[in-house]
Structure 1
Amino acid sequence: MTATSRLPVEGPLPALDGATAWLHSEPLTPAALRGRVAVLQFCTFSCINWLRTVPYVRAWAEKYRDVTVIGVHSPEFPFEHDEEAVRSALDGMGIRYPIAIDDDFALWRALDNAYWPALYFVDVDGRIRHRHVGEEGYERSERVIQYLLGESGVRDVDEGLVSVTPDGVHLAADWASLGTPETYTGYARATGFASPGGLRLDRRHVYARPDHLRPHTWALDGAWTVRARSTTLDEPGGRIVARFHARDLNLVVGAHDGTAARVRVRIDGEPPGVARGLDVDEQGDGHVAEPRLYQLVRQQRPISDRIVEITFLDAGVEAYVITFG
C-alpha cells in the first residue's frame, strides 16, 4: 500500500446541484457524503468503453457498503438525454447505485472532466484523492477504495479483490488484436471515410462503396443523409461497409421512432456463423430498434483483417459511431 498511501489531495468535491435529476436516490450533496468514502464515475449508456467497466464498478458498489458509488450520466448523443431510456438501460445492467443525470454537463465542467468513463475517488472529508481515466486499472482502483476506507477508520476492510466474469458487451477488449480505432459516422468527427467523392454534408446523397477498402476505413452504399453527429438511411437497402482488425465490431444505431428495422451482417461476403455478435444470429440477421450499442461481430482467434457489410433492409435507421474491441 506504500504507493497508495501517498495519494495527493486534488481538491474538494464540487457541488452536485447541477444534476438535472437523480435515479435510485434523493439528490446528494458533498455535505451529505461527508463521513463516507465516495466513488463517482462519468458514463453514457451507449459507450463501449464505459460498458466494459460496469461489472467492476457494480461489484464494488455491492461489496463495499461503507462506500457511496455514484454514476454521473453525461449524455454523448441526443437519445441519451431521454431519462426513461437511461433508466431502462441502467436497470437492465443491474445498476442500482445512485445516478446523477448530468444533461447540462454541469458536473462534467465542475470536475473539468473530458472522458467517458472517468472515476473520481473521494475521501470522508470530501476531498478528491485519486482519479482514473478510461478502462482497466481495476486492481489499482479497488486498492484506492480499500486504502481510503482504512484511512477513515473502517475496521476489517476485506483486502481481497472482487471476482467478476464479464461477458457480452462487458467483456474487455482483445487489446492484443485491436487495430482499428472507433469512428463516428457524423461529419463532425468522422475519420477513414472511403466512398468516392467523400461526405456530402446535410443532404441526401447516393453513395457507393469503393472497389477496394484500405485497412481501417469505411464507406456508405445507398441513399444516406450525413449530419454533424449521425447518418440517416433514406431508402431501404443501404449499407455501411468497413475493413477492420479487431475481435468485436459494434455500432451505435437506432431505428426511427424505435420501430424495428431489419439488419443483415456479412463478413467477407458470408454469414458470420460463430463470429456473430449478440444482436444478430448465425445467418447475420437481426433487428435494430431503440438507439443503443449493438454488437454485430465477435469473431474467434486468429484475428485478421475482415470486411463487414451491414445492410439495413428498412429505411430510417440513424447511425452514430462504429466501435471495436
Structure 2
Amino acid sequence: MNARPLALHWRRLAGKGFAALAAIIAITCVQWSPGEARAAGLFSRPAADIQSLDGAVSWVNSPPLTPQSLRGKVVLLDFWTYSCINCLRTLPYIRAWAEKYRDLGFVVVGVHTPEFGFEHQPANVQRAAAKLGITFPVAVDSRRAIWRAYGVQGWPSLYLADAKGMIRNRQLGEGGYAQSERVIQQLLREAGRTGVPTDLVSPQGEGTQAAAGPMPAQSPETYVGAAQAERFRSPEGPLRLGPSHAYQPATSLALNEWTLAGDWKVGEEAAELQRTGGRIAYRFRARDLHLVLGPAMEGKPVRFRVRLDGQAPGADHGSDVDANGIGMIDSHRLYQLVRQSSPGRERLFEIEFLDPGVSAYAFTFG
C-alpha cells in the first residue's frame, strides 16, 4: 500500500490546528540522520526512559514490562486508542509484524492512551483488545503518563527502538508500512539477528480494519459533544450544553453539516438520547462513515436504523449494519455504518435510534 498524505491519517492532534501539524512535521524532518540512515528512514536520539511504562494503570496480555525484560529487544511502541479509525486500520500490519518477527527478538508494546471517558476503564480496553485480536502486551495509559513522557501528539503514533534503547524511527499516523517494516528488519540485523526476512507483509484488514479508500474523504472528523462540535445546524441555533432539550432538525444540510432531532442531553464530549425516536443526520462525501456510539447503560443494547438518501443502504451498508440498515449498539466503540464502493457523490446519512439511552461521540470518515 502506498503511504498516503499525513494529514489524511493523523487523528486528533493536540490543538487541532495546522500549526501543530506543521510543527510535528518540522521536528520529524530535522531528526533524520545523514547517509544510509537517512535513506532507510532512521534517526538516532536518546529514547524516553523505557521505565516511563511504569505510568500504566494496568496491563493487558502481559505482566508489567520492565527495562530488564525489554533489554536487547527491538521494540515497537504503538500509541493507540480503540475508538480511533486510523488506529484500527494499522492493526493488521502491527499484528502481522508481531507474529513474523517475534522469534527474532522483536516486541510490540501497545500503549492505549484514551480520548473519551469510556476508554479510561481498563476492563473496556481489555474487552476491546480481545475483540480486535490483539495478543501483544498493552499498557493501559489512562493517565497519559507514557504519552507525555514520549511527547506524543496524536493517534496513531509508532516509535521504533533499537536493541540499545534508542528511538530510531517514528511514524505519525497511518501509512508508511513498507518503510516501518524495513526499519524493523534493519534494526534486527544491527542487533546481530540472522535469518531476518527481506519480504514485506501485505495483510488485508476487514470491516473497520480495512485500508482507507483510494480517494481522500471530503468530510472531516466531526464531534457531537459541545466542547468540539462544528457545523451543527438547527432552526433553534447552536447546541445547548446542559439539560435535555427537544431539538428540531434542520430542513436542509450543506456538505459536512449535521443536525439532531429528538430529546437530547448534550455534554462536553457526547450527546445522550433521552427518548426513543431520536435521530442524527449528516451530509457527507466519503467512502466510509463511522460513528462512535455507546449504550447509556451497559448490558442494555440500543437498536438503530440507518438510511442513505432516505433509503435502506443496501450494498452500501457498513460492517455494523445489515442491508436494511438495521444494527445494534452493544458497547462503547466505533461503528462502521456506511461502506460504499466509491465516494463519488454527496450522500445524506440518517440514523434513527429505536430505543432511548444512547450516547453519540464523533463521526469519522475514510
Shorter-chain TM-score: what band?
over 0.9
The partner residue of 1:182 within 221, 224, 228 is 221
How far off is 1:302 after superposition? 5.6
Pairing 1:56-205 to 2, within 5 Å after superposition:
56-65=93-102, 66-196=105-235, 197-205=237-245
- The answer on whether the counterparts of 1:61 and 1:68 sit within 8 Å (CA) in structure 2 is yes
Name the residue aligned to 1:281: 322
Deviations 1:141-163 (A, max 9, x none): 11110111111111121010012
Name the residue aligned to 2:282: 242
What is the TM-score with the length of structure 2 in the denominator? 0.86
- Runs of 5+ in structure 1 lacking a partner? none
Indicate yes or no: 2:296 matched with 1:256.
yes
Indicate yes or no: 2:90 matched with 1:53.
yes
Aligned-partner Cα distance in 1 for 2:245–2:294: 20
Name the residue aligned to 1:219: 259
How far off is 1:10 after superposition? 2.5
Aligned-partner Cα distance in 2 for 1:303–1:116: 28
Indicate yes or no: 2:304 matched with 1:269.
no
Aligned residue identity for 1:195: S
Aligned-partner Cα distance in 2 for 1:302–1:94: 29
Aligned-partner Cα distance in 2 for 1:301–1:78: 34
How far off is 1:175 after superposition? 4.4
- The answer on whether the counterparts of 1:13 and 1:122 sit within 8 Å (CA) in structure 2 is no
Aligned-partner Cα distance in 2 for 1:105–1:25: 19
- Runs of 5+ in structure 2 lacking a partner? 1-35
Counterpart secondary structure, 1:190:
coil
- The answer on whether the counterparts of 1:177 and 1:245 sit within 8 Å (CA) in structure 2 is no
**Identity of paired residues, percent?**
49
- The answer on whether the counterparts of 1:240 and 1:310 sit within 8 Å (CA) in structure 2 is yes
Counterpart secondary structure, 2:54:
coil
Higher deviation after alignment, 297-306 or 98-107: 297-306
Aligned-partner Cα distance in 1 for 2:92–2:212: 14
Name the residue aligned to 1:231: 271
Name the residue aligned to 1:12: 47
Pairing 1:27-42 to 2, within 5 Å after superposition:
27-42=64-79
Indicate yes or no: 2:334 matched with 1:293.
yes
How far off is 1:85 after superposition? 1.8
- The answer on whether the counterparts of 1:260 and 1:287 sit within 8 Å (CA) in structure 2 is yes
How far off is 1:177 after superposition? 4.5
Deviations 1:268-297 (A, max 9, x none): 000111111111111111111211111111
Cα distance, 1:161–1:213 mapped onto 2, change above 3 Å? same
Aligned residue identity for 1:97: F
Deviations 1:81-121 (A, max 9, x none): 22222112111222111111111110000001111110000
Deviations 1:232-271 (A, max 9, x none): 0111111110000011111110112131111000000001
Cα distance, 1:31–1:45 mapped onto 2, change above 3 Å? same
Aligned-partner Cα distance in 2 for 1:235–1:26: 44
Name the residue aligned to 1:306: 347
Aligned-partner Cα distance in 2 for 1:250–1:56: 21
Aligned-partner Cα distance in 2 for 1:105–1:60: 26
What is the TM-score with the length of structure 1 in the denominator? 0.97
Aligned residue identity for 2:130: D
Aligned residue identity for 2:271: T
Relative to its length, the structure with more helix (as a share) is 2
Indicate yes or no: 2:246 matched with 1:209.
no
- The answer on whether the counterparts of 2:272 and 2:296 sit within 8 Å (CA) in structure 1 is no
How far off is 1:225 after superposition? 1.1
Deviations 1:18-57 (A, max 9, x none): 1111111121123331211100001111111100000000
Deviations 1:217-240 (A, max 9, x none): 111111111111111011111111
